[in-house]
Structure 1
């Protein structure tokens, strides 16, 4: 199957006839369309269930991410609701789906090629176990990445095997239920195909194979034409075995005149199979965490990294006050944070990271912080920040409170790599220096914090401890939904300069931040009305000055159009303009890969120097993608002269754009987008916050499996430079302090890859579902050039329990339910059932999936758990779910509806009939 990143999203997944399994440039991308259709349907089902359980309607006004998220969050989602995180979650899944064609191009199990059925099923089961374990530990990004890969393998089964040729119209449920055997597999000595000299025969499967219902798949030869005698080939120009008798192939990747019916059957079955897998994951995770995995949540995440040394008592008290204010003032609104994260650090320790969706728990945890310890050493600030960057969702706002320089300054390059990888924004509140002296190897200073803030698009605010309460309004500004950046610039040497910026009709709560002293400025609106730094309450807005920060909040009656701010300073300063709007964009730098199924892969490090930069970019409007049009996309240096390097735009449809910038700016740059909002017919401007630069160094590495607790994972990697060869320093770090070994240096020859191997060992007591963020860096001996690769791997305990919980209904009392359903509201019915997990790990949760009644059960610690359900006779169907401790799912379904529509009046079934009438099934 072909996987073209960004070709299709919401509308594409649901629109028109699906031309799936098409080659690059030949039409709709199969994995994107199938995956998108399944994800949207399952998200919609889940949102509807959550809405109904909460007692409100689920009624999206359209199919755009914004409208779907708005409807899913319900009536409390007032104000601006951003669909960016949902959109990003979909893209992450699509990206990983596509990378299977690059990273595992010659791996039969990943594609169910060459009759590797058992091995392919094992990959699916291992992936599903990892996804469930990751969700349990709230490691949603790791879960999404694995989900994309698993869906690719599952979908390939229906295109690459003869499942649909055998007349099957439903998915092969055994692929996702390991307690069911894979049956009737053709062995290596069984011929399966007839010769097809033209290569396009309608169905070359041998009659005996069809008659005996033998399961086979095509052999794929990327580097060799050899295959067992009589076996089917995959087919196509890239498959060298397709010219070996029997010639041709059985792949249904492309719709051709000779295979239209089989191709469409494969697409349909693969879609239903994807839905089954998603339903199993949803059932194991629960509706709330399934939606969180999919990025359906209020977009604001509050993340604090706080120095707890003895001199920080005032700062801790202010951070506590801000958290309380956020919780109390935003509760029940769209701006209520979806998650709270707290990371303390001290000397010599840091952490643990505390994550919660419960605001009261966050209050409790931050109330526990006490200022103590420390001494005369700087603190472990960057270690704490590393935990936050790897634990918080991508694109989070992180706030660091400290009064000392960083003792662990050696982590600075790793922090920059993580900032670029996660696109998170880091702001520092610095109340030092405190008088503690640095004893670190490298001369750390507050300038390092300013560098990191600028790299992320954040603020570096220096105030006295007494002034800190006035400065934390920045946190209230940015811990909000639908936050966008209109402009950000920095100047290392202050001169007088005028910065124009475009404000559109959709923007609200517009705020301008200037950090630096001394500063004078004049702000001018499109009508020519001006206000300078001395007018704290002027015609254009209110100005707050504290420490090195100037915060300008524009009045709500701001004019749309081009504004200007003239700044005079003889010192370095930064300028940032933000607001709230659902009009935004997400982007990734990508590189093209070739092979049988070419596509685009997201770069894990910096783009390559001397080559055009390629971006895959999605524009999100207030409604469907057609509600905005894009005028210009380019790159601009944040700290240099105002010059945008524009890129050539290829519209991929549905708001997705491929951008190629032939000449990449020197230095650190950001992405700038300009377009028109068709809803208001006004022009808009948006800018990315994370700075990027190019490198001549390239690092390649692929994580191809999970790691078990107590085991070591060997990770090969390769480094190449297009610059000066010689000795390059290799450095690797992970956020879990797992033991690692790797070569400290590699000798590079220009244009040639040098290979190394990293080993990482997960301690035996590592909790299953833990994710590990691993950063590999390579730097030239002079330090003039470097690059990085950020990888994510999961620690998953090997699963031996594949058996689902079982259910036996032993009593149904419905004799009071009337035949006339108009009278049903005055009567009720009951169901009793016993739940067991056999020899498994034990049932962990029982929850109601269908039905408006009440469900109760005895202790989950019992060997036999009794469940009781009571409902109105108007609610005649019940389904509840039991999940064991490793994520196996059983579903218990019962109905009192008869075929004629009247309810069962009385039912007390013998055990054998109960087993037939009401049983747990693993998947729908």
Structure 2
């Protein structure tokens, strides 16, 4: 159903007030001492990740020397968590990107749910706010269960926002609380001491001083309240506190003022830092709950703690692809076996098969053997008509893989689904993933000759190949064209891309041939540098080092490089030892070509388009889609790998470098820089940065470096804005997404523009949807047109599934496009909110107090674990602390429920056990068993056997035999 007029009006209000941010500031702070959602999220994630790594190291008997506090950096945590100290190029780009995903999703709540009181704990909506957190936590655990870690990070960021806002918007801090309100993440615990609707909570502020505006009797009674907020009306219940601030109309009605602690300049700004500290502690507490539910290994994957990227193959499985599939198997198996068990092992494996008319499903796993089994089962069969569903397969890969992934597409056929080109472009630019096409048997014409057996062979001609070349160019990848016999010589680029800490130093695509000279800087941190030149067979080149040494393309093994040529690819393994500085590559070709130079280095860049919000908290949020031609552009650039890096220059340049736009730099801390560009002309641009690294002690001057983003930026005169009110959808529901398309001139809406724009809507789950195929911008519509997409979510959609919806608008007369990419999480209603129960069933006995005898004594602990009749059942039981043996079995309870009997045995030298019990939806209980020690010295006595028979849970009898040197006492402690 389309949005109601009231809802549409509220959406318009939000759009007209982009400064409407009434929480901790999302990303940046206009005042240096103010703590933002980004700060809170980064600190919490780094702290909890470090704690998990410390605990893993302790269990494995390894040292962990990092001091865990609130000043950790991603580089410090990644280094401390590394099992090897020999990695000279430690990459933190995956970790930093994962953290950015969380804080950008956090900031998105202020846009998507700006007027939702429950998402901000406004208007005393404590139960509603906790429900938001409960649903979100359940969704994250479902995501992890499906190994959908990317979606899990996005969902986490949204939960963080609501949880963190509680400490700024409520009076928890004013009540003198010094620890988080744990009931917010434990829905089976009551929310107590809530001020009811009729209880006054505030009095007028004295002028601008709101320090003591909360009623003393409310604080004395320990009642919990939060401020009311409304941008449309001043109405609020009698005597209630307001949020406060210039946008809050309720703060003008008595009692005046507010109680928020969003910034140091807020109504209760003197408590801002205490609120931020509690918000961080609460975020850590929530992360601990998720860690216990999903396990330490999956928790670190969820945080993105990895030096390696994913191995992602999209493979054509039609009959002519047998050789290609065999080569994909060979290279993937070789990579797996070479990197298995090392920190360079791919963080995940993604496989998407396609043919015609089928494509998919996405096979995604973190288990190398499962991936090997899946790729080993691929069989080339069928065929006939030439085109295949290559872009549909690529779409699935791009939505499944994390941002900044490398995707490899194997095919020998043109795309049958070329209409998806704009969708693929949108996904590439949104995820900044690099796509390389491994194309076999490309011909110069469309003609096909039958074989002697009368079978029509498949061919892909130059015109069909251009689509793949275009997509590769946009992503920063390559279109590699070889024969099937030579494919094995070209797949070395796959191994190159999966090396640790690969960075792009220089890249250019020349769509018109001709001689040209390119320069790039080699710095001290770079090693194992490789250059790739793709183009027609007659292409020539030479390379010159910073010391003046040269090598021509005919020298396959020279002083500067070892050169391998196969198909249209020339791979140069560079020798840069003792030759830092400015290098040159001169290329001459009558046809289009590309040049790409990579290396391994810890110093890399991440960039995200952001847009400014003016108003009370003037801040930035992540921008989807392309920036507007002729307007201003802002980037959040993160430099990874060194605390000693100084960024000196960020530029945008087009392929001819005839247009160069210099950015204005503003350091934002933690390696982040806000880079702003003014009046960016229409065109395609690449982001290049230069800087200095003073980490080298052997240099008297700083080491200069350059890096280049693989994915480019293209401007557009079209704006596509979707008005999303929720990112969570239930199975069996319909979701309506109103959208607005405008035509702009020099970055602003062109009121006189008119025309018909083509609209394309696609989603990666093939869910049914309805949408207009075009919109008309009339002369009197002020350059704007509206439409609505309705997405139908099947009732059978699994909770934890994520659907990526892409809306693109195209001006057919100019070829100009823009887009927005929306991601919705399928989340079933949470019905099981109760944690599992533990019930002790063993008698009390005692361990000897003297450690001299502990090794000859044993203690046993048996507990019944239940999740109730209506629960989802016990899913896992694991040892968190203890060096004993755990066995489990299942019996039926008196009420028909399943009872998991957990039996733990250990030496008295290990007198404590903590069991982590998780039910089917991720509710967690920690059961602690502890052997009591005798108070008098003891000596060993002969083994005795005790038969324990205990009735529990309504008469089900559990009978066990125990062997003791001495009697043991067990006490059960519940957390």
- Do both proteins adopt the same fold according to a TM-score greater than 0.5, normalized to the shorter chain? yes
SS of the aligned residue for 1:222 comes to: coil
State the match for 1:628 in structure 2: 645
For residue 477 of structure 1, the aligned residue among 489, 492, 496 is 496
Q: CA deviation at 1:380?
A: 0.5
State the match for 2:841 in structure 1: 810
Q: Deviation digits for residues 673-701 of structure 1, max 9, x if unmatched?
A: 11112122421110000021111221222
For residue 526 of structure 2, the aligned residue among 507, 511, 534 is 507
- Count of matched residue pairs: 899
C-alpha contact (below 8 Å) 1:812/1:830 kept by paired residues: no
State the match for 1:337 in structure 2: 346
Q: Which region of structure 1 is more displaced relative to structure 2, 267-276 or 577-586?
A: 267-276
Matches within 5 A, 1:421-820: 421-433=430-442, 445-517=464-536, 518-555=538-575, 557=577, 559-622=579-642, 625=643, 627-637=644-654, 639-641=655-657, 644-680=660-696, 681-701=702-722, 702=724, 704-723=726-745, 724-748=753-777, 753-811=784-842, 815-816=846-847, 818-820=848-850
Q: Which region of structure 1 is more displaced relative to structure 2, 871-880 or 293-302?
A: 871-880
Matches within 5 A, 1:265-276: 265-276=274-285
Residue 53 (str. 1) matches residue 62 (str. 2): no
Q: Deviation digits for residues 640-683 of structure 1, max 9, x if unmatched?
A: 23654211101112211000112425422111011112122421
Q: Identify if the C-alpha distance between structure 1 residues 98 and 519 changes in structure 2 by more than 3 Å, giving closer, same or farther.
A: same
Give TM-score, length-normalised by structure 1: 0.92
State the match for 2:913 in structure 1: 878
Q: CA deviation at 1:27?
A: 2.7
Residue 113 (str. 1) matches residue 122 (str. 2): yes
C-alpha contact (below 8 Å) 1:201/1:258 kept by paired residues: yes
Q: Identify if the C-alpha distance between structure 1 residues 279 and 333 changes in structure 2 by more than 3 Å, giving closer, same or farther.
A: closer
The CA distance in 1 between the partners of 2:39 and 2:883, in whole Å, is 34
Q: Deviation digits for residues 115-141 of structure 1, max 9, x if unmatched?
A: 122221221111111111112112222
Q: CA deviation at 1:829?
A: 3.0
Q: Identify if the C-alpha distance between structure 1 residues 899 and 791 changes in structure 2 by more than 3 Å, giving closer, same or farther.
A: farther
The CA distance in 1 between the partners of 2:404 and 2:913, in whole Å, is 40
Q: CA deviation at 1:634?
A: 0.9
C-alpha contact (below 8 Å) 1:832/1:869 kept by paired residues: yes
The CA distance in 1 between the partners of 2:219 and 2:67, in whole Å, is 48
Q: Which region of structure 1 is more displaced relative to structure 2, 511-520 or 26-35?
A: 26-35
Q: Identify if the C-alpha distance between structure 1 residues 731 and 863 changes in structure 2 by more than 3 Å, giving closer, same or farther.
A: same
Q: CA deviation at 1:791?
A: 0.8
The CA distance in 2 between the partners of 1:899 and 1:786, in whole Å, is 78
The CA distance in 1 between the partners of 2:300 and 2:681, in whole Å, is 39
Q: Which region of structure 1 is more displaced relative to structure 2, 85-94 or 718-727?
A: 718-727
The CA distance in 2 between the partners of 1:619 and 1:792, in whole Å, is 27
SS of the aligned residue for 1:253 comes to: coil
State the match for 1:14 in structure 2: none
C-alpha contact (below 8 Å) 2:693/2:705 kept by paired residues: yes
Matches within 5 A, 1:829-844: 829-839=859-869, 840-844=871-875
State the match for 1:127 in structure 2: 136
State the match for 1:371 in structure 2: 380
SS of the aligned residue for 2:846 comes to: coil
Q: CA deviation at 1:277?
A: 1.4
Residue 895 (str. 1) matches residue 916 (str. 2): no
Q: CA deviation at 1:591?
A: 0.3
Q: CA deviation at 1:288?
A: 1.2
The CA distance in 1 between the partners of 2:891 and 2:342, in whole Å, is 36
Q: CA deviation at 1:236?
A: 2.5
SS of the aligned residue for 2:842 comes to: strand
The CA distance in 2 between the partners of 1:47 and 1:603, in whole Å, is 34
Matches within 5 A, 1:308-327: 308-327=317-336
The CA distance in 2 between the partners of 1:82 and 1:76, in whole Å, is 13
State the match for 2:30 in structure 1: 24
For residue 290 of structure 1, the aligned residue among 299, 302, 307 is 299
SS of the aligned residue for 1:494 comes to: coil
C-alpha contact (below 8 Å) 1:111/1:156 kept by paired residues: yes
Q: Which region of structure 1 is more displaced relative to structure 2, 510-519 or 859-868?
A: 859-868
Q: Identify if the C-alpha distance between structure 1 residues 76 and 265 changes in structure 2 by more than 3 Å, giving closer, same or farther.
A: closer
Q: Which region of structure 1 is more displaced relative to structure 2, 335-344 or 193-202?
A: 193-202
For residue 160 of structure 1, the aligned residue among 150, 157, 169 is 169
SS of the aligned residue for 2:212 comes to: coil
Matches within 5 A, 1:67-216: 67-75=76-84, 78-216=87-225
Q: CA deviation at 1:152?
A: 1.3
SS of the aligned residue for 1:811 comes to: coil
RMSD: 3.0
Q: CA deviation at 1:457?
A: 0.7
The CA distance in 2 between the partners of 1:642 and 1:333, in whole Å, is 45
C-alpha contact (below 8 Å) 1:132/1:284 kept by paired residues: yes
The CA distance in 1 between the partners of 2:197 and 2:243, in whole Å, is 16
C-alpha contact (below 8 Å) 1:2/1:29 kept by paired residues: no
State the match for 2:750 in structure 1: none
C-alpha contact (below 8 Å) 1:438/1:444 kept by paired residues: no
State the match for 1:41 in structure 2: 47
C-alpha contact (below 8 Å) 2:35/2:263 kept by paired residues: no
State the match for 1:10 in structure 2: none
State the match for 2:961 in structure 1: none
Matches within 5 A, 1:378-397: 378-397=387-406
C-alpha contact (below 8 Å) 1:850/1:879 kept by paired residues: yes
Q: Identify if the C-alpha distance between structure 1 residues 202 and 911 changes in structure 2 by more than 3 Å, giving closer, same or farther.
A: farther
C-alpha contact (below 8 Å) 2:611/2:623 kept by paired residues: yes
Q: Identify if the C-alpha distance between structure 1 residues 825 and 264 changes in structure 2 by more than 3 Å, giving closer, same or farther.
A: farther
Q: Identify if the C-alpha distance between structure 1 residues 729 and 260 changes in structure 2 by more than 3 Å, giving closer, same or farther.
A: closer
The CA distance in 2 between the partners of 1:583 and 1:860, in whole Å, is 56
State the match for 2:877 in structure 1: 846
Q: Which runs of 5+ in 1 are unaligned?
A: 8-22
C-alpha contact (below 8 Å) 2:640/2:671 kept by paired residues: yes
State the match for 1:918 in structure 2: 972
Q: CA deviation at 1:273?
A: 1.9
Q: Which region of structure 1 is more displaced relative to structure 2, 291-300 or 461-470?
A: 291-300
Give TM-score, length-normalised by structure 2: 0.87
Q: Which region of structure 1 is more displaced relative to structure 2, 602-611 or 138-147?
A: 138-147
Q: Identify if the C-alpha distance between structure 1 residues 501 and 449 changes in structure 2 by more than 3 Å, giving closer, same or farther.
A: same
SS of the aligned residue for 1:769 comes to: coil
Q: CA deviation at 1:713?
A: 1.4
Q: Identify if the C-alpha distance between structure 1 residues 451 and 812 changes in structure 2 by more than 3 Å, giving closer, same or farther.
A: farther
State the match for 1:13 in structure 2: none
Indicate the structure (1 or 2) with the bigger Cα radius of gyration: 2
Q: CA deviation at 1:433?
A: 4.1
Q: CA deviation at 1:533?
A: 0.6
Q: Which region of structure 1 is more displaced relative to structure 2, 422-431 or 592-601?
A: 592-601
C-alpha contact (below 8 Å) 2:260/2:269 kept by paired residues: no
Q: Deviation digits for residues 177-221 of structure 1, max 9, x if unmatched?
A: 222233343333332212224142322222332343332211112
C-alpha contact (below 8 Å) 1:2/1:598 kept by paired residues: no
Q: Deviation digits for residues 266-292 of structure 1, max 9, x if unmatched?
A: 333322222221111111221111111
The CA distance in 1 between the partners of 2:535 and 2:104, in whole Å, is 40
Residue 868 (str. 1) matches residue 896 (str. 2): no
Q: Which region of structure 1 is more displaced relative to structure 2, 325-334 or 362-371?
A: 325-334
